[in-house]
Chains A and B, each alone.
Chain A
Amino acid sequence: MDLLNNLVLGFATAASPYNLLFCFIGVILGTLIGVLPGIGATATIAMLLPITFQLEPVSSLIMLAGIYYGAQYGGSTTAILINMPGESSSAVTAIDGYQMARKGRAGAALSIAAIGSFFAGTVSTILVAVFAPPLTAVALRFGSPEYFSLMIVGLVSSVALAHGSVVKALGMVVLGLLLGLVGTDIYTGTPRFNLGILELSDGLNFVALAVGVFGIAEILRNLENEHDRDVMIKKVTNLWPTRQDWKEMTAPILRGTVIGSALGILPGGGAILASFASYTVEKRISNTPGEFGKGAVAGVAGPESANNAGAQTSFIPMLTLGIPANPVMALMIGAMIIQGIVPGPNVATEQPALFWGIIASMWIGNLMLILLNLPLIGLWVKLLTIPYYMLFPAIIAFCSIGVYSVNSNVFDLYAVAFFGLIGYGLAKLRCEPAPLLLGFVLGPLLEEHLRRAMIMSRGDPMTFLNRPISLGLLLLAAAVLVVVLLPSIRKKRDEVFVED
């Protein structure tokens, strides 16, 4: 039983007191930094990368992995508490999580996120251990036509993110797609929409955009009418999920885990779609889709599980191919190279202790996180009892530090202010930021894969239909379009009147 031996080796490595310590340090650091608003997993790892260079390779990677999960947990925490997602994935959590918090159910929302993530983390760790090599082979069959079709599924589904006007949500997706294209066209090197600004030649900074349209806009909304409106929360009711919550979250967690695990394996941006896809599915099959956007338990449980499962399985292409699935994985590869390990197909056989040690530490890290975070929930919720006018200067300060620390560029801070203004304006116009963010992330990918597929097929558009996986995805997109769009158009009139 090879797998068993490998896992034993892995746990023996990861559970050595020294490595446990670094796993713990990583998880704590990740959580703490991730909880600071405006600083997501990518920024956190970029900031903390240098301090891992002095360690043993295994320990440093275990610590980095811990920082990664920790920052993701932390990012979800700020998304729920103050509507400030640090990553595209937690943008979805913010939709219903923040509404739960406003209803005084921040504790329950945080617990649900933690429990869902832990379950998904456990299942997907097993998946990574058992299926890493064969799954990699599947992922490699995804060429540009397949990715293009996958992105189409994602975009079509994004309508479900809207809880107001569908047309406005579509407009926000398209606006996001356009903003995502700002920068340099990779095919010709032509600069596009950069208004002659050199800093824009690599495109807009995601963190700056997210902090602006979500965080700053939310602060401005809260400052609108300080005298009449009590900004935050009703009284915090219960910290833990109720019996009813447990019932509502179980199925979404299971579905989210499956969706996230599957999408995370795709190296070309599948993991980005995980939380969005899960949200769409939950809203579709829910008996009370009207609850979504107003604090639905399933709208937190599903995406958070999918997100964590995807984060976990995105290690598969990294560990088996040496290919980064997202910016965080790229940083991890950088850390490995500095440690003298070049990730690639041979890591598993040449460095079994390292390979399996990391896999085992994934689970240990998740376990530590839930043990650490459940007690911390009480503390986070207490943060909300600090008067808002004392909280937001800190939010602004941390956002500034976080955004600046990534590229050391003032321009990114101009972008924060600019998108804060835009985001506030859009919020006033009842346009929601989550579809915009999805469009922003997918825009460049969509165009890249479309054009690459056309180049490789020598200009034959049938390439999307001739390839079975691509065809299947397009059919799925068509089905989603019919199912999602028709009833929403029919219900349009009613929905407009139920806006809050």
Chain B
Amino acid sequence: MLKLFTSLAATAAIALISGSAFAQGYPERSITMVVPFAAGGPTDTVTRLVAESMSKDLGQQIIVENVGGAGGTLGASQVAKADPDGYTLLLHHIGMATSATLYRKLPYDTLNAFEYVGLVTDVPMTIVAKKDFEPTDLKGLVEYVKANADKITLANAGIGAASHLCGMLFMSEIKTPLTTVPYKGTGPAMTDLLGGQVDLMCDQTTNTTKQIKGGTIKAYGVTSAKRLDALPDVPTVAEAGLPGMQVGIWHGIYAPKGTPAEVTQKLSGSLQKALKDPDIIARFAELGTVPSTDAEATPAGLKSKLESEVTRWKPVIEAAGQYAD
């Protein structure tokens, strides 16, 4: 028994030593960062900005690879299966947490298939309506929506999209089901909102800020804790009486399970440096978001975020009863 224990310990020790020896030289070649969405989308944008800055710090190029499909689960499962050597990483958003419930058959175990590097950013959402929509503030909107529930249409960009999640949350917060109108992506949904074909939508600032500033749609609230610099006139949902609507599309970097802790620590440190890059701060501000703090951009920060978000969305999605598979 003792023999077994010592040999196990020895094996572990060797693994540890070789792990750290391995990590010291890391990275020795280029790193692949998988984005589980198509090139050019908002998540791809975030990834490329961060990857470029982290490449400078690590001294090795980070190649961004788009592995789109199935609401991000294809890319995630590919990384889950990759060698845990630190040369394959994943940048995924809130979908990492929601797909755990949205998909009843996932090819990986969301909470146990990955090591964590850190939280990157949290993009707030805005509750918006067509230009000539009657209510003037969020309180009025809630009353109006409750009174006219059977006439109001709520757009979203498809199952699992940020706008779909936020819409579900909105309906569950005001306890009023509405007629939801799904679109294929944010573009067409925004087109119909601009044209007044649908009434309401809740979407990321990435997609709505310009339209709100241009006065082509009406904004009722942002879902962040503080007002945004980009939209100083739009109140937060908490100010306007719906504190439960605080929600953001957060992005995190993951590595396959078994990646040495030294590697994820090194990557996390590099991420923290990247997030202080003035260029990144400026670009993020244009998207209506801010980089994560040093405490959030750590393995522990991302782990607790993912766990709490899986728990948070489970009842909301189950109540809506819509699944993606």
Instruction: Give me the interface of A with B, judged by CB distance under 8 Å.
Output: 46, 49-50, 53, 140-144, 184, 186-189, 191, 198-199, 201-202, 267-268, 317, 321-324, 327, 330-335, 337-338, 340, 342-346, 407-409, 444, 448, 452, 455-456
A202 adjacent to B69 (CB under 8 Å): yes
The interface residues of chain A lying within 8 Å CB-to-CB of B323 are: 189
A338 adjacent to B49 (CB under 8 Å): yes
Give the complex CA separation of A409 and B153 in angstroms: 37
Closest-by-CB residue of B relative to A189 is: B159
Closest-by-CB residue of B relative to A325 is: B187
B195 adjacent to A331 (CB under 8 Å): no
Of the A-B pairs whose beta carbons lie under 8 Å apart in the complex, a sample of 28, sorted by A's number, is A140-B195, A144-B197, A184-B324, A186-B159, A188-B322, A189-B324, A189-B325, A198-B70, A198-B74, A201-B69, A202-B69, A267-B187, A321-B194, A322-B210, A322-B211, A330-B40, A331-B39, A337-B45, A338-B45, A338-B49, A342-B206, A342-B209, A344-B210, A345-B211, A407-B66, A448-B183, A452-B181, A455-B179
B210 adjacent to A408 (CB under 8 Å): no
Given contact pairs A186-B159, A342-B210, A345-B214, A407 touches B187 in the complex (Cβ within 8 A): no
A53 adjacent to B69 (CB under 8 Å): no
Give the complex CA separation of A243 and B123 in angstroms: 61
Given contact pairs A331-B40, A343-B210, A198 touches B182 in the complex (Cβ within 8 A): no
Closest-by-CB residue of A relative to B106 is: A198
A268 adjacent to B188 (CB under 8 Å): yes
Q: Closest 6 CB pairs between A and B? A: A334-B40, A344-B210, A140-B195, A345-B214, A189-B159, A331-B40
Residue B10 interfacial (CB < 8 Å): no
B179 adjacent to A407 (CB under 8 Å): no
Closest-by-CB residue of A relative to B69 is: A202
A408 adjacent to B40 (CB under 8 Å): no
B40 adjacent to A448 (CB under 8 Å): no
Give the complex CA separation of A332 and B40 in angstroms: 7
Instruction: Give me the interface of B with A, judged by CB distance under 8 Å.
Output: 38-42, 44-45, 48-49, 52, 64-71, 73-74, 77, 102, 107, 153, 158-160, 179, 181-185, 187-188, 190-192, 194-198, 206, 209-211, 213-216, 282-283, 286-287, 322-325
- Which of A187, A267, A334, A343 lies in contact with B39, CB distance below 8 A? A334
Interface residues of B, dominant DSSP: mixed
A199 adjacent to B70 (CB under 8 Å): yes
A201 adjacent to B68 (CB under 8 Å): no
A449: min CB distance to chain B, Å: 10
A209: min CB distance to chain B, Å: 16
B39 adjacent to A201 (CB under 8 Å): no
The interface residues of chain B lying within 8 Å CB-to-CB of A184 are: 159, 324
The interface residues of chain A lying within 8 Å CB-to-CB of B210 are: 322, 342-346
Given contact pairs A334-B40, A448-B184, A53 touches B52 in the complex (Cβ within 8 A): yes
Give the complex CA separation of A331 and B38 in angstroms: 9
A317 adjacent to B191 (CB under 8 Å): yes
A346 adjacent to B191 (CB under 8 Å): no
The interface residues of chain A lying within 8 Å CB-to-CB of B213 are: 344, 346
The interface residues of chain A lying within 8 Å CB-to-CB of B77 are: 198
B181 adjacent to A456 (CB under 8 Å): yes
